[in-house]
Amino acid sequence: MEKTVLFDFIDGAKEKIIARGRKFFDCPELGFKEFQTMEMICEELEKWGVPYEKGIAMTGVKATIGKGCGYHIGVVADIDALPGKDGGCIHSCGHSIQTTLALTVLEALVQTNFLEETEGCVTFFFTPAEEFIDFSYRDGLIKEGKLEFRSGKQNMIALGCFDDVDCILSAHANGDRETKFDVGSALAGFLAKKAVFQGKSSHSGAAPHLGRNTLHGAMLTMQAISFLKEQFPPEAGLRLHPVLTETGGDVNQIPGETILETYIRANDRESLFAAEKRFDACVGHCAAALELGWEIKTTAGYLPLRQSDRLNETVKENMLLLCEEKDIVKNPVSGASGDVGDLGSLLPAVQFGFSGIEGRFHSSDFIIREEENCYIRAAKVLAGTIFDLLTQPEKQVYPENFSEKKEQYLSLLRQNQ
């Protein structure tokens, strides 16, 4: 079979694909609440006779096609949305497009019988709760034993869903209006920090000297953090913007407890964990200087995304079948984060970008402007990459030390829950 057979199928189903995309866009649900989305995915799979598992990490779906004795490709699509106006939800990060792309490629592979000509297989993972939000709900599920972690992919990694996968393919909308695709993008990793300063309350007029002002400790720490930022080069992408979430006390009272919270973001693991170490030192030394107690709570976020250069070569080759070199942005750097970075720390992974969006991400003015690029061209890039990986073994990339890396990864998460 030629690759054009897959492309022709996608072109022939264009109207149906776009209608499917609009249907999923109109069904936004928050993470671990995507029950209707899960059922809609399963309805499509049942129409094509594809076996699947559902309810993984609450609302995830997993479907494998192919013989399963050769190279194993994982295609990952997020399915959750974000809060919108008036208590509603909106697909303002493009995850409904990811879901549609995955289903489009899956259908193309099934209906053309391409996998019957190969020894490989493809597993499609529809993953919940990529957006790192709604903590009270998620932490409640963790306490009930229904989940272990706050994100969908983190839970699915722990459940062993990716243990026999050789590589990960994914795609995500970008905000570029001048080009069609990006390749090799970097996503930042992040950790959440909560520093609690403990002091002594006292009357601020009659006896301030008898108190130990925790607000002073937090303010001194914020100043130290502002100096800390200059210790990292621009390419590290360090982002540290602490806020005071609780200041304690009244206007006539020395505050006996103050809470400072922040995300630490960086483009690589070394910078991320170096910044964490120095942040903790800022808190501890500034508190000690004012004879304050302190505690630091660390919650694991996502790891930086490091993409596979070899896989991206194949991705770009397929982009060039659909556009010119000038239409592809190479190696953009983003301050955003995603749990695909966690997968990329364990397996060879790519997440290429596609344009076609208008408005700001994570806002109510987000719209899908160019459906052709979002739903059709992007699907062809994904399908073409799968075709090449399964028909040209020299393009295949395999994981290294997966079990050891997974053990270390889960240990890190569990230490920072």
Segment 56-81, tens digit of pLDDT: 999 999 999 998 889 999 999 999 99
Is pLDDT above 80 for 417?
A: no
Portions of the chain given CATH number 3.30.70.360: 189-300
> How would you class 16 by CB atoms within 10 Å of its CB: exposed for 0-12, middle for 13-18, buried for 19 or more?
exposed
Band (408; pLDDT cuts 50, 70, 90): very high
The model's confidence at residue 328, banded by pLDDT at 50, 70 and 90, is very high
pLDDT tens for each residue of 25-58? 999 999 999 999 999 999 999 999 999 999 999 9
- What mean pLDDT do residues 378-393 have? 98
- The CATH code that applies to domain 3-187+304-415 is 3.40.630.10
pTM over 0.85: yes
CA distance to 26, 267, 299, per residue, from 284 (Å): 48, 25, 18
Report the Cα 206 to chain-centroid distance in Å.
Answer: 52
CA–CA gap between residue 231 and residue 327 (Å, rounded): 36
Structure tokens belonging to residue 342: 């966690």
The model's confidence at residue 247, banded by pLDDT at 50, 70 and 90, is confident
Decide: helix, strand or coil at residue 9: helix
Cβ atoms of 190 and 301 within 8 Å: the answer is: yes
pLDDT of residue 399: 98
- Alpha carbon distance 66, 85 (integer Å): 43
Bridge partners (DSSP) listed for residue 173: 354
- Give per-residue pLDDT as tens, 227-246: 988 899 999 999 999 999 99
- Exposed/middle/buried for 412, CB within 10 Å: 0-12, 13-18, 19+? middle
**Paired sense of beta strands 121-127 and 60-66, if any:** antiparallel
Cα distance between residue 206 and residue 183, in whole Å: 64
The pLDDT value recorded for residue 210 is: 85
Which residues of the chain are in CATH 3.40.630.10 domains? 3-187+304-415
> Stretch 326-353: mean pLDDT, rounded?
95
Q: Which CATH class is domain 189-300?
A: alpha beta
SS3 (DSSP) at 338: coil
pLDDT value for 81: 98
Q: In the predicted model, what is the mean pLDDT of the chain?
A: 95
CA dihedral 300, 305, 311, 312 (to 10 degrees): 160
**Mean of pLDDT values over 101-130:** 97
- The confidence score (pLDDT) of residue 67 equals 86
* Residue 167 CB neighbours (<10 A): 23
Q: What is the mean pLDDT of residues 81-95?
A: 93
Would strands 167-173 and 82-83 be described as parallel, antiparallel, or unpaired?
Answer: unpaired
249 pLDDT above the threshold of 80: no
